[in-house]
Structure 1
Amino acid sequence: MTILINEEKIDFTLENEKTFTDVLSSVETWLNKAGMTTTRIKWNSSYIFPKDLSAVGGTPVSSIGMLEFSASPVTLKRSEELASLLDYLVKLKNAIIKFDKKILSELLPQFPDAEETLAAYLPDLAIEGKDNITEQLSRLLEGSTPEMIGLLKEKEKTTLESALSDAIGILGAVSSCLKANNGVLSSVSIDELEPVVARLGDVPVLLQTGKDSQAMEAIAKFSEMAQAFLDKAGNMFSTNPKGFSIDGKPFDEYSRSLNELLRELVGAFEKKDYILIGDLCEYEIQPRITKIIDKVKGSLSA
């Protein structure tokens, strides 16, 4: 059996997997530990959809041949789920306000699927002074038809519209956070980071001239921005980490080595080892982060 993840062959050691379903479960567990999730599966050149699993799930491992997985960061999948849910809720709210029977007849049968996703994100959430949002929507929309919506009393209709507005507002905020955490690097973020990186080169001089507070400020600013930059760069190259290497090392490995140096820098500050602080900033950390920036800039302009 051959397994590819994002077109990269992986060494997968069978343990207790006997069937197609067992293998899917094990691969998904492995991906989840790496912060990833399956987005698409291809088996011997044919895509497999959830509806197909009951028919092929019992296939023995010896008959599988090749399995190809497409995977993406969990946050990206959540972001896409939320975007779809928000789009649905906004359309539903507008259709209810306008009492558009045609749109309602299309949207209301989709509510059970939307309800499941909604419950996952807002399981016990209630606005102060109101009932649980998901429960309100379920009570008023489950099994509803356009005609039933038209028969709602004014108070019930107001409650429904209010619950939809609350859900849209809260989920919109969650979606914005996910997009920020999973954002694509831009030249603006790099332009903001580069002068902060350059400032690291001044740290030894600042320490030698007694300007400890300025040195600490420069390092604190760098640490904050560098971590956000590394997280976004990691997301950017997570679908094909082997395709992005520095000094012969995959991005993840190179990034970890930089994080280890940052931890060493914190330890040096605690010990007030100013010589080590200066050496780390000037000869270790600054050159490494500069190489990552150059690689990312090259990828963005490609």
Structure 2
Amino acid sequence: MDIQINSYPINIELENEKKIADVISSVSRWAQERDFIFVEALIDDVSYPVDQVPDLGIEKVERVNCIVQSKADAVISSIEEAMRYADRVVKFAASPDSGNGSGLDQARALEGGAAWIVEMVSSVLFLLGAEPSQVPSGDRDLAGLMEDLKELAGRAAKITENEIKHLADRAAALFAEMNNVFRTIMLSENLKNLVIQSLDSPDALIDGIMEIKSSLPSQVENLLLAAGDYGAGRDAEASEKLQSFVDFVFRYTRTCYQAAPVFQVDLGAIAVDGVSLDDKNRAIQNLLIEMHGALENNDIISLSDIMEYELKPALENLEDYVDLLIEKIRS
């Protein structure tokens, strides 16, 4: 059986482990000893929560990929995901479709979305060692905003057609406020200290940024080659190139969001042609999500179009952003 940590094979001798649950327990202990968070287990490419792995003997499994994160990575990735969701809520509020029922479905979905945000924020603050009452949000604190989000979830559960616009406006205001709080957290001393604990040194972070800049041209070329391979039916070669590119984007976004608290750099203040680095990164992430959807639907034409005509143009001035980020750090 092949055992991996974050898709990288590791050499581990199985002794008393007879079932997959035993392997997961061993990796969990390994992660806890290093202050990591064991996020999920991919068992033969099927995702399972760590505490809900199937009751299988190790002889029935070919590969276990254990996804672990540092606490800082867990906080940053959670905030990134929450900010993308908040953007979708604000977009929905701008034109809630109440004509064919889809608007009502989306409004009711806010019940789960708002509850998830509250739960996620509570987990993030726990990892940061902070309380909601300690985090400012305009002229109040985060505790008040979280209570309003809980109230919003309750209203969404009972929403009627006539109330969609009012609920959407309220949701847009609360989620826009939540995004401002997230930006505050990203620049907080709490997150800075958590990130530094997961780094060898700030110098390693700077070296990572320089490596990203030097790799960018070849990765853009890699993206175009992958699009060509998909168009020519060479799916295996395309998939390998695309995975390399996705890994690069992960390293890039992780480095950006680590640099923000460590060097006190506001990604929203770094802009090229009026578009902030914060918005640029989220646009790239949204395109990756669209690509993933196209792959799941085996829609190779849409996948290739996104890669060649949307993602490539989005990357063309990324080096300018990286240069500005380096300049900010050095200043």
TM-score (norm 1): 0.46
TM-score (norm 2): 0.42
